[in-house]
Amino acid sequence: MSAPRILYCHCAFAKVVPAEVKSAVLAGLTGANVEFDAVPDLCEMSARNDPRLRDLAAQQPLHVAACFPRAVKWLFAAAGADLAPDATRVWNMRTESADAVLNGVLARTAGAESAQ
């Protein structure tokens, strides 16, 4: 299995994700010597129908550090970018600890919630 692509959402336009969790996850990713994409805010991109979402959705397998999987799935869908349910896993920084999120997104195979 190929290494998953990693997508991190900073939820920059609202304060619904704990700042300490975001900071710790971002620090963990930048310090892990892995390639990843970090976006300011998936909601904002979805609202703009940002075509970049389609590029990101096409990366498979994809590990996403963001918020609720149901929200992430339909934010992408609203912008015409369907996430592959079998190849996309989402970790929720609103409810999970930074360690749990990092362990999940950095794992080659993981057991987080599928975006379906």
Partner 1 sequence: MSLVPASRALVVLRGGGEASLGGGERARLAQLLLERGLEVACRRDEGVVAADLGSDAPEALAARLADGAGAGAAPAAWKPWFPVIDYSRCTNCMQCLSFCLFDVYGVSGDRKIQVQNQSNCKTECPACSRVCPEVAIMFPKYRHGPINGEEVHTDDVRREAMKVDISALLGGDIYSMLRDRSVKAKSRFSKERDDDRALKERQNCLVALKASRDLDIPAEVLAALPSPKEIQAKAEAARLRAQTLTEGAAPPRDAEQD
Q: In sequence order, what are the beta bridge partners of 62?
A: 5, 88
Which residue in this structure is represented by tokens 């869908």? 77
Distance CA 115, CA 28 (A): 23
Which residue in this structure is represented by tokens 């998936």? 42
CB 59 within 8 A of CB 80: no
By C-beta, is 36 or 54 nearer to partner 1?
A: 36
> Nearest approach, Cβ of 67 to partner 1 (angstroms)?
6
Stretch that binds partner 1, among 39-47, 57-65, 103-111 (CB under 8 A): 39-47
Distance CA 30, CA 46 (A): 25
HSE, side-chain direction, 13 A CA sphere, residue 83? 27
Binding residues for partner 1 restricted to 68-97, rule: CB under 8 A: 68-72, 74-75, 77-78, 94
Q: Which of 21, 29, 101, 106 binds partner 1 (CB under 8 A)?
A: 29
Stretch that binds partner 1, among 36-44, 57-65, 97-105 (CB under 8 A): 36-44
By C-beta, is 41 or 103 nearer to partner 1?
A: 41
User: Would you tell me which residues interact with partner 1 (CB under 8 A)?
Assistant: 10, 12-14, 16, 22-23, 26-27, 29-31, 33-41, 43-44, 46-47, 52, 67-72, 74-75, 77-78, 94
